[in-house]
Chain A
Amino acid sequence: MKTLLFLLLTLLCFKLHAQSTISGKVIDQQGTPIMGANVYLSGTYDGTATNDNGLFTFETTTTGTQTLIASSISFETYSKSSDINNFKNVTIKLKDDVNTLDAVTVNAGTFKAGDNAKVTALKPLDIVTTAGALGDFIGALQTLPGTSNVAEDGRLFVRGGDADETQIFVDGMRVFTPYSPSANNIPTRGRLSPFLFKGITFSTGGYSAEYGQALSSVLLLNSISEPQEEKTEISIMTVGLGLGNTQKWKKSSLSLNTSYINLAPYQKLYPDNNEWHKPVESLGGEAVYRYKFNNDGLLKVYGAYSAVDFDLTQEDINEVNGVRFGLNNNNHYLNTSYQDFMEKDWSISTGISFASDQTKIKLDTADITDTENSAHFKLALKKYFSSRYKLNFGAEYFITDFKEDYIANTIENEYKFNNNLLGGFAEADIFFSKNLATKVGLRGEYSQLLKEFNLSPRLSLAYKAGQNAQFSLAYGEFFQNPKNEYLKFNTDFSAEKTTHYIANYQYVKNKQIFRAEAYYKDYGSLVKYDTDFTLPTSIYDNTGNGFAKGLDIFWRDNKTLKNTEYWMSYSYLDTKRNYQNYPTQATPDFASKHNASLVVKRWVEDWKSQIGFSYNYASGRSYTDPNTGRFLTEKAKSFNSLNFNYAYLISPQKILYLSVSNVLGTKNKNGYQYTDQPNTDGIFDRRTITPAADRFFFIGFFWTISKNKNDNQLDNL
């Protein structure tokens, strides 16, 4: 008995103290030793860190099958189960973690804003505190290269494309009417208020196969998934009032935001060169409701309403009394999206967006009513095979139902069309290594109106050449159905088409970004017609074409000057097209050859103030002087504007904000208008089109009421 027990105990003790040695080497994919990697047996305390030569050795008392783990920062964790005796002199090769900040990113053509982005061109605050942007995030984007300054329009003109070639998406769903309507020669504003969004991706070309119906550019906005706290926000401005409120519950939250703008008092004080019968008055409301399901699912419902009303008489060289223009617009927009993560690394996102827009225009004696109802349905699935390989595919359906009633004196006409489109896409993200990645996609679209199917391939490639530098290339074909103003008169078209070729170089080092991008865009199948204006009787075809090529440079530095950030953009654009009613290939009047901007912001601690300047320059745009007999060959004066803004934090929750655009009062010219008929000397007279006002002042007081006394509306400015 005793002997047996002794034996048993000895055995047990032996087992207890039986030590085996685990040893080996940890290297990366190039064979370089990794030091400081954590190597251990899972579930035990036995392990160690590798030395300078990547070598490790440790003792263990465990036996049998064990799991050896090796983990190190910026590498994927390695694990292998085997009998303990096999873990001797093992060589462990760790794979680069492609999700780290220093891994390559496929980014040709794209700017990201927000703190989730690896390389942030614009920070969240920049969207709203850029001088001259006046709280409109479109204004801030216009300080990025690739955009052309078209002061009298206000919309995004990207790389030789007109404003309709850019599409805007919220949570992956299309926004059909993103801009508020405005009168001729008065810049429009985006309808969406910037502070409901968290991440912004602005692509100036070569974008993902997930997005279509945009020839030049897409702007992707993600709404905030979870507000941080309950609060009420009050804004009192020289141009109107605003009120916002956020409520939070256990699983859901609701944010409401309303604004009332009336320019009447402002225009009394600072009359501009228009004769206003009814200054701009607008009422807008937005609401976002979010619900989190138990299984990680997230439902977002975004709804917006806006109404705009104004009436004015604008100078016109052909009309002694000017042209009277009145507008009344009602816009409803609803966007519902749902996202969920499922088993086996699948995720789903689906959504519906719906827009109903009615515009009533009074143009002298004519009454025009445009009604547009549009919807977008989308379902996309994503499969995450590994951090190195992801697949994204889906289908979507667009409906646009357009109707125009035109009543003038005795004429009454109705024009309408249904522009329905089915789209499908598939795209793979592949990382070959931490330094080489590609995105390959294909998009197909069938237009029921045009009875046409188009297939667009998309490809981008990125290679990281060093610790801070990377090169990217992108290619893609893009289709877009002709604009409503053509479709209402004629539907016998093909889709308009562009092909993008992009080469990008990026250098990022500690709070400094340098980016240079060269591109070539080939336009085909552009719509042409044979009259001065689009008319029901015009003859339309798809024989237009054109090109755009250029170079975009961006430099941002948050490092060199203390408390000061600045960025500079320069865009060179060479573009010509023969479309619409152009008699020959010419540079369109919205494109300027050189565009540059400089934005500087400085936080002054002692004054609790942020002071910002921005300077915009655009070389003169082309116009037609009928006296020369040539088409779009003359160049107008260049555009210059120095803008200033100042935000003073009275207390953490009270902010005073002042902004002046075009401080120097530079007399900019938006173009010229010539008489239809020559005068008695046989010369066509002209009138200079100047901005409605040279300067614009804005003073606002913003007050936030919340439990947390530090939150404020600085992000709204």
Chain B
Amino acid sequence: MRTLLLVITFIFTMNITAQTSYEKGMNKAFALWDQQKNTEASQLFERISAAETDNWLPPYYAGLIEIVSSFGLKDETVLTTKLTRAKEFLDTASAISENNPEIMISYALLNTAYIAFDGAKYGMTLSGENAAIYQKALSIAPNNPRVVLSKTEWDMGAAKFFGKSTVPFCKDIERAITLFEAEEQTIPYYPYSGLERAKAISTECKKETSPKN
């Protein structure tokens, strides 16, 4: 009996060990990202992605890091290389999880990185593509707070460009905040973040709407 128990415990422990290697890897990658070690973090996500072939999160994060870290780059060669790589990761992620709104808005973010680099070269084609992505993401997940937030931010950017008031969009930001707060966070490592950004934008909104002295 004792032997059996021991064996069971052992097998069980082994299982747990196997599980935690994913968690250990993911935790370590997030820690690296926190420390601004973008390359190391992205590489670790890439390694996890190679091991976890049916999980969209590791390639999603590997791509996201490349995208986020390409904003502000001055060299087009580096930019294109990074974003091409990022796109490959996102393609891997979306092959695992089709029509995933989180991945879709990352594609839009990728396009935005190109547009931010050279609006005249990339703006014409990619801004239309982005509008279409947001439209589709919103129709799939109308209550996803990140979809609502990033679409609203995109619309606000366009309004700003045309010198229009961004006030009409504030209610959408408020709606995103409500959705964020109501969101049940059940899946480990799911990209739930965004609430803080929404709140920051909301504060800006309130400044604009309140009468100036």
Contacts and interface: CB of A to CB of B under 8 A. Distances in A.
Interface of A: 1-2, 5, 9, 12, 16, 36, 38, 40, 42-47, 49, 69, 71, 73-74, 100-102, 115, 120, 123-125, 198, 228-229, 510-511, 558, 565, 603, 608, 649, 651-652, 707-711, 714-715
Contact of A124 (B3, B48, B125): B125
Interface of B: 3, 6-7, 10, 14, 21-22, 24-25, 39-40, 43-44, 46-48, 50-51, 74-77, 80-82, 84-85, 118, 120-122, 124-129, 131-132, 135, 155, 158, 162-163
B46 A71 contact: yes
Given A1-B3, A100-B81, A711-B131, A43 B51 contact: yes
10 contacts: A1-B3, A43-B51, A101-B77, A125-B124, A198-B125, A228-B132, A603-B120, A708-B131, A710-B158, A715-B124
A411 B152 CA distance: 73
B168 to A, nearest CB: 11
B129 to A, nearest CB: 6
Given A49-B43, A100-B81, A714 B124 contact: yes
A603 B161 CA distance: 12
B39 A228 contact: no
Given A49-B39, A608-B162, A652-B158, 10 more contacts: A43-B50, A45-B21, A49-B43, A101-B77, A115-B121, A125-B124, A229-B131, A510-B74, A558-B120, A710-B127
Contact of B128 (A40, A42, A45, A711): A711
Contact of A649 (B46, B125, B129, B162): B162
A119 B71 CA distance: 21
Main secondary structure of the interface of A (DSSP, over half): loop
A45 B120 contact: no
B58 to A, nearest CB: 10
B47 A45 contact: yes
Contact of B81 (A1, A49, A74, A711): A74
Contacts of A510: 74-76
A198 B122 CA distance: 12
A708 B75 CA distance: 32
Contacts of B155: 709-710
A12 B17 CA distance: 14
Given A1-B3, A649-B162, A40 B121 contact: no
A228 B128 contact: yes
Contacts of A228: 128-129, 131-132
Contacts of A229: 128, 131-132, 135
Contacts of A603: 120
B135 to A, nearest CB: 7
Contacts of B131: 228-229, 708, 710-711
A101 B135 CA distance: 31
Nearest to A710: B158
Given A707-B135, A710-B158, A123 B120 contact: yes
Give the 5 A-B residue pairs with the shortest CB-CB distance, closest first.
Answer: A708-B131, A228-B128, A38-B43, A40-B47, A101-B77
A544 to B, nearest CB: 44
A44 B46 CA distance: 11
A40 B47 CA distance: 7
B151 to A, nearest CB: 11
A708 B151 CA distance: 11
A711 B163 CA distance: 16
Given A711-B131, A714-B124, A715-B124, A38 B76 contact: no
Contacts of B21: 45
Contacts of A16: 14
A511 B127 CA distance: 21
